[in-house]
C-alpha cells in the first residue's frame, strides 16, 4: 500500500473506531433510556481504555498515533520510526485524518443513539457524549490536569517503544496485541486516576472533532457547545505530550 494511503487508512479508521467506541460508552452511560444508563465513571474509564486498545490494534499500519498530541510528542522526541516510512513530512496528514476520523466516529455515535438523544433533556449529559467538561471550571487548574494526564500517556507510548527495543522487535507501529493491551490498561488507569477533574480528554481530536459535530447536529435539547472551554483539551494535551517528548529526547531512552 502506498505510504500516504497507509497514513490515511490507519489514522482515519483508528480514530473513527476510538471515538465510536469511546463516546459510545459515554452515550450508553449518560443518555436516558439505555441499558447502561448511570453506569458510572468506572464504566467510562474502562470503555475508553478498551476503545484505545482496539483502535491501536487495528490501525498499526500507520503507527496508530490516534492523537495529534502524540504525533507532536513523537516529532519532538525525534522518533522517525513512529511515522510511516520514517517520514516526519506526513505529520500534518496524521493530524488531519485524526480529526476527520473523530468527527465521523461521533456522527455514528449520534446515529446509534438517535432515539436516546431525542428523549434526553439534560444539556450537560448530551454534551458529555461529545466532548469533555470540567467538574470545577478553573482554566488554569483544568489545563494542569490535562498536561499531567497526557504527559503520562506519552510516557506510556514511549514505554511501549522501549519494550520493543529491549525485546529486539523492530518498531512497526502499535500493531501487536501486547502493545494494545498496555495502552488499554494505561488509558483506563489514567481515567480512573487522573480523569475525574476534567474527563481526561488527553487528545485534541477526541475533544474538538466531536465538539464541532455537536455544534452542527440538530439535537433537540443540546444547548451550548461550550466553546469557552474548548481550548483547554487542545492546548493541555499538546503541552503534556510535548514535555514528555522533550524528556524522552533529552534522555535518549529509545
pLDDT the model gives residue 71: 98
pLDDT per residue rounded down to tens, the chain (254 residues): 799 999 999 999 999 999 999 999 999 999 999 999 999 999 999 999 999 999 999 998 999 999 999 999 999 999 988 999 999 999 999 999 999 999 999 999 999 999 999 999 999 999 999 999 999 999 999 999 999 999 999 999 998 876 665 555 554 444 467 888 999 999 999 999 999 999 999 999 999 999 999 999 999 899 999 999 999 999 999 999 999 999 999 988 66
The reported pLDDT for the residue numbered 161 is: 74
Long-range contacts of 178-181 (CB under 8 A, 24+ apart): 179/56, 180/53, 180/54, 180/56, 180/57, 181/53
Do 68 and 238 form a contact (C-beta atoms < 8 A)? yes
Give the model's pLDDT for residue 254: 63
**Cα 77 from chain centre:** 19
Distance CA 155, CA 162 (A): 10
User: How many residues belong to the chain?
Assistant: 254
208's grid cell:
474538538
CA atoms within 13 A on the CB side of 7: 21
Other C-beta atoms within 10 Å of 48: how many? Answer: 26
Supply the pLDDT for residue 174. Answer: 41
CATH hierarchy code of domain 3-251: 1.20.1080.10
What's the pLDDT score for residue 164?
61
Q: Which residues contact 188 (CB under 8 A, 6 or more apart)?
A: 45, 46, 48, 49, 50
Instruction: Please state the three-class secondary structure of the chain as a single string.
Output: CCHHHHHHHHHHHHHHHHHHHHHHHHHHHHCCCCCCCCCCHHHHHHHHHHHHHHHHHHCHHHCCCCCHHHHHHHHHHCCHHHCHHHCHHHHHHHHHHHHHHHHHHHHHHHHHCHHHHHHCCCHHHHHHCCCCCCCCCCHHHHHHHHHHHHHHHHHHHHHHHHHHHHCCCCCCCCCCHHHHHHHHHHHHHHHHHHCCCCCCCCCHHHHHHHHHHHHHCCCCCCCCCCCCCCCHHHHHHHHHHHHHHHHHHHHCCC
Amino acid at each position: 500500500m502506498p505510504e500516504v494511503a497507509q497514513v490515511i487508512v490507519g489514522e482515519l479508521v483508528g480514530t473513527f473506531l476510538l471515538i465510536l467506541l469511546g463516546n459510545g460508552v459515554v452515550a450508553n452511560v449518560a443518555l436516558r433510556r439505555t441499558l447502561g444508563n448511570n453506569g458510572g465513571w468506572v464504566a467510562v474509564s474502562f470503555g475508553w481504555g478498551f476503545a484505545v486498545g482496539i483502535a491501536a490494534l487495528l490501525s498499526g499500519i500507520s503507527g496508530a498515533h490516534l492523537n495529534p498530541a502524540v504525533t507532536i510528542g513523537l516529532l519532538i522526541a525525534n522518533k522517525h520510526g513512529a511515522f510511516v516510512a520514517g517520514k516526519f513530512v506526513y505529520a500534518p496528514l496524521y493530524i488531519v485524518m485524526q480529526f476527520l476520523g473523530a468527527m465521523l466516529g461521533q456522527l455514528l455515535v449520534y446515529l446509534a443513539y438517535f432515539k436516546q438523544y431525542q428523549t434526553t433533556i439534560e444539556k450537560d449529559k448530551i454534551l458529555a457524549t461529545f466532548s469533555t467538561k470540567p467538574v470545577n471550571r478553573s482554566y488554569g487548574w483544568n489545563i494542569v490536569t490535562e498536561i499531567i494526564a497526557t504527559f503520562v500517556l506519552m510516557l506510556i507510548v514511549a514505554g511501549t517503544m522501549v519494550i520493543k527495543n529491549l525485546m529486539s522487535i523492530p518498531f512497526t507501529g502499535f500493531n501487536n496485541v501486547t502493545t494494545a493491551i498496555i495502552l488499554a490498561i494505561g488509558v483506563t488507569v489514567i481515567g480512573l486516576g487522573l480523569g475525574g477533574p476534567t474527563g481526561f480528554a488527553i487528545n485534541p481530536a477526541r475533544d474538538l472533532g466531536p465538539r464541532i459535530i455537536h455544534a452542527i447536529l440538530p439535537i433537540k435539547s443540546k444547548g451550548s457547545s461550550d466553546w469557552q472551554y474548548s481550548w483547554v483539551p487542545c492546548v493541555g494535551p499538546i503541552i503534556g505530550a510535548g514535555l514528555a517528548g522533550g524528556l524522552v529526547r533529552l534522555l535518549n531512552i529509545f
